Amino acid sequence: MSGEHVRAMLACGVTFVSGVPDSALAPLTGELAEGHQGIAYLPATREDNAVALAVGAWLGGASPLVFMKSMGLGNATDALTSLAQVYGVPLPLYVSWHGYLGRDVPHHNVLGEVLADVLAALRIPVVRHVMGEGTFKTALAETVALARDRGAPAALLGVPAHLAGEAHDAA
């Protein structure tokens, strides 16, 4: 493992990570599973549970991050709005954007095509990057800063490289 994700999280001060593993996020979860001093990692079985764990960690003094695939946003919406937003939790989200521009399998495209609009409706600002292109550190730093400045969630949308297309229109 290159350690790119863990190094970026440590550089941003992230100390607690939870989320639901996903194939596009395998490099991240692989690094986290190795264990790293300074980051507590607790995988979740549902995205709303990951948000609740992160809010609890924040209340305990940690600096959390939650990861999920885009389909998990539906599961996380209640916890994001009734916990993180209401109580001013600066929660960066790392979301693998399946269904980006309808370039994926049908069951990913349903939410994937409108994901940015859904996040906008939830008042969650978005930073985008193409996964695997070395932009994670910069994009994560921007997302963490947004969440902290707002005292509310901010989302880093990672477009899987195979969905980004030749023009990399998500970058």
Residue 105 is which amino acid? V
| Per-residue pLDDT tens digits of the chain, which is 171 residues long | 368 999 999 999 999 999 999 888 999 999 999 988 899 999 999 999 999 999 999 999 999 999 999 999 999 999 999 999 999 999 999 999 988 888 888 888 889 899 999 999 999 999 999 998 889 999 999 999 999 999 999 999 999 888 887 444 444
Domains located in the chain, CATH noted: 4-164 (3.40.50.970)
pTM: 0.92
Q: Are 129 and 143 in contact (CB under 8 A)?
A: no
